[in-house]
Amino acid sequence: MSAEGSGTIRTRIKNLLRSPSIKLRRSGTARHKNDLSSKVTLEKVLGITSPGNRALACDPRTGLLAYPAGCVIILLNPRKNKQQHILNSSRKAITTLAFSPDGKYVVTGESGHMPAVRVWEVSEHAQVAELQEHKYGVSCVAFSPNGKYIVSVGYQHDMMVNVWNWKKNVVVAANKVSSKVTAVSFSYDSSYFVTAGNRHVKFWYLDHTKTSKLNATVPLLGRSGLLGELRNNFFSDVACGRGRQSSSTFCITSSGLLCEFNDRRLLDKWVDLRSSQATCLSVTEEFIFCGCSDGTVRVFSPVNLHFLCSLPRPHCLGADIASVVEAR
């Protein structure tokens, strides 16, 4: 084909693309997309993307459940079986979350480069605070019982523990941690918190006289728990005691042991859960609930670690509960 002929074809194509009909078609497509985006809403999410026990939370006041599915926070009302959704504006996957003590807020951590710790208002589904002090990912977050502070622990390569006065958007205390941390729990009086992980149980103490300074980040004081012969275990969850046992701290190991630390950080009691694996822990003034493999939940007394009972396992999927006339 001659140069003159190819030039003529190019000119015809350019003129065709500039024609009013093509422009009208393009604008109509864009308008159609905008119309769809305004009409399409997220109705229901199937599944959960929880990497561990730190991405499932329950508001003790209302029973509302919160858990992540990718970059979406699902707020589930189990009584009505209805979902509400909060979309993470950064589109980064949410790795951990926790409710505030009054249930009005949810704090989340995320994965990816330069992840943020975000606070969301539950009723309005709106972000109210944001902290970016981690680099590689956030493994666990927690509100202090007084609601004033948030503690966030980074991934193992992030190596940071931050205490955040979230209403003033300042980090009041921070330190490094070299171990893999999978759980965190505050004491009842918000004076310290405990982290647990791979061969790791550490007590971190807050000096409120220093943390009250607005623009100064003070070093966070940490003291390791005295693990004794259990020093090589993976501690999968931790919970500070409540009520009469507020000076104690309870942990479980992935191998299936329930442990108690006294007020001197010494691991002085432990019992065998008689399960191949233990994954989660919940402590009240009267009971210790230990989540184990195969859907087993063991219940112990926090006073002396005596075994009380095992909760009934959930029924199998597809089972007709109405047809069951006797317990087996």
For the chain, the distance separating the N- and C-terminal CA atoms, rounded to the nearest angstrom, is 86
Domain range enclosing 100? 44-224
Shared domain for 91 and 159, answered yes or no, is yes
The CATH number of the domain holding residue 310 is 2.40.10.480
Q: Starting from the edge strand earliest in sequence, which strands make up the sheet with 57-58, in order?
A: 57-58, 65-69, 72-77, 82-87
pLDDT at 177 over 80: yes
What per-residue confidence (pLDDT) applies to 34? 61
- Write down the mean pLDDT value for the chain: 88
For the segment 12-41, what is each residue's pLDDT rounded down to a tens digit? 776 766 666 555 555 555 565 566 556 678
150 bridge partner residues:
143, 164
pLDDT at 242 over 60: yes
Tokens matching residue 60: 């003790």
105 or 209: which leads in pLDDT:
105
pLDDT at 230 over 60: yes
Shared domain for 65 and 189, answered yes or no, is yes
The whole-angstrom separation of Cα 88 and Cα 201 is 31
303 or 322: which leads in pLDDT:
303
**In a domain? residue 321:** no
Number of domain units in the chain = 2
Could you tell me what percent of the chain has a pLDDT over 90?
A: 67
What per-residue confidence (pLDDT) applies to 164? 93
What per-residue confidence (pLDDT) applies to 296? 92
Shared domain for 127 and 84, answered yes or no, is yes
The residue-averaged pLDDT of 61-77 equals: 94
What per-residue confidence (pLDDT) applies to 315? 77
Shared domain for 171 and 288, answered yes or no, is no
Helix (H, G, I), strand (E, B) or coil at 313: coil
What per-residue confidence (pLDDT) applies to 29? 58
| Number of helices and strands in the chain (H, E) | 3, 25
> 85, exposed or middle or buried, with CB in 10 Å at 0-12, 13-18, 19+?
middle
Q: Pairing state of beta strands 200-205 and 249-253? A: unpaired
pLDDT at 245 over 60: yes
Tokens matching residue 169: 């958007």
DSSP letter assigned to residue 178: -
